[in-house]
């Protein structure tokens, strides 16, 4: 009987030790993963800031130059040039400043409208933009998302989908507010992409493989995806659906953030 009790006592000690070691290991793994995520976020911010600085050149000189062009256009009653210059200056100002902070959906949509104004002068009636919302449409504009989430995706749709398409093209930004998520779908009726390209892209996005590539001077979709995952976790991010000859849907899954103070770096 004593041998049995001693054996059970030893088993409990061993079992308890294993539980403690497992808990301790999990604790340190969590700390290490948190530290790694924090380091990755800092690196990504530096990359974004570098891209901004690279595109910035001398912002005051740029803004002053654009304002001079706009003034000359107004004097000579060339309204189209004045309007395009104003949209371009506003777009640059938004893009260059404070890349690392969250902004309301309404601010992102203002930037998209400026971007569309600029591209509309190039594409004319070949390009149209539609924005719609589903759910509590009064709440959506005031929710916070990472700055420059939408524009790189729309830019990708324009230059890789619609520009290569014969005839008119449309970009649709569709917001869906659920109980726990803010879902954003950016769709185009462009040329689409072949299955192998789509699978490779989605695999890279799912595994959060960093990319230093830029598309047409903007921040790459992979960078947007990486920022989302680092800010909110791996369950959020970007997934793409595409059919050759029909178009592409870029699906962005985000948490519901009602204040920029809810998320800390």
Query: What is the per-residue pLDDT for 82?
Result: 82
Answer yes or no: are the C-beta atoms of 210 and 226 closer than 8 Å.
Answer: yes
Three-class secondary structure of residue 196 per DSSP: helix
Residues in Cβ contact with 41 at an 8 Å cutoff, skipping those fewer than 6 apart: 230, 231, 265
Distance, CA of 129 to CA of 34 (rounded, Å) = 40
H-state helical runs in 97-207: 105-123, 150-157, 195-206
Q: From first to last of the 265 residues of the chain, give the pLDDT tens digit.
A: 544 444 444 454 444 454 445 555 554 555 565 566 666 666 666 666 555 555 545 566 677 777 788 888 888 877 888 888 888 888 888 887 765 589 999 999 999 999 999 998 889 999 999 999 998 899 999 999 999 999 999 999 999 999 989 899 999 999 999 999 999 999 999 999 999 999 999 998 998 886 555 444 345 788 899 889 989 999 999 999 999 999 999 999 999 999 988 776 5
How far CA 42 is from CA of 45, 87, 223, 244, 255, in Å, comes to 5, 31, 13, 37, 21
Answer yes or no: are the C-beta atoms of 158 and 150 closer than 8 Å.
Answer: no
> At how many degrees (to 10) do helices 105-123 and 150-157 cross?
20
Copy the structure tokens of residue 140: 């959506």
């Amino acid at each position: 009987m004593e041998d049995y009790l001693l054996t059970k006592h030893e088993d409990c000690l061993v079992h308890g030790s294993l539980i403690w070691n497992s808990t301790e290991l999990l604790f340190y793994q969590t700390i290490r993963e948190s530290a790694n995520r924090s380091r990755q976020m800092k690196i990504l911010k530096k990359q974004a800031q570098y891209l901004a600085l690279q595109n910035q050149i001398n912002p005051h000189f740029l803004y002053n130059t654009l304002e001079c062009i706009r003034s000359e256009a107004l004097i000579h009653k060339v309204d189209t040039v004045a309007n395009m210059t104003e949209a371009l200056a506003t777009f640059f100002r938004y893009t260059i400043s404070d890349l690392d902070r969250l902004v309301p959906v309404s601010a992102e949509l203002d930037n998209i409208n400026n971007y569309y104004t600029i591209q509309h002068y190039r594409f004319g009636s070949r390009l149209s933009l539609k924005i719609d919302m589903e759910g509590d449409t009064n709440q959506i504009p005031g929710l916070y998302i990472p700055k420059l989430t939408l524009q790189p995706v729309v830019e990708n749709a324009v230059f890789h989908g619609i520009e290569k398409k014969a005839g008119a093209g449309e970009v649709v930004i569709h917001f869906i507010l659920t109980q726990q998520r803010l879902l954003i779908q950016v769709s185009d009726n462009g040329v689409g992409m072949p299955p192998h390209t789509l699978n490779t892209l989605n695999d890279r996005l799912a595994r959060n493989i960093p990319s230093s590539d830029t598309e047409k001077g903007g921040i790459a979709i992979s960078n947007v995806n990486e920022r989302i995952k680092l800010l909110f976790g791996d369950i959020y991010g970007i997934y793409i659906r595409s059919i050759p000859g029909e178009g592409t849907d870029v699906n962005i899954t985000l948490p519901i953030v009602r204040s920029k103070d809810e998320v800390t770096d």
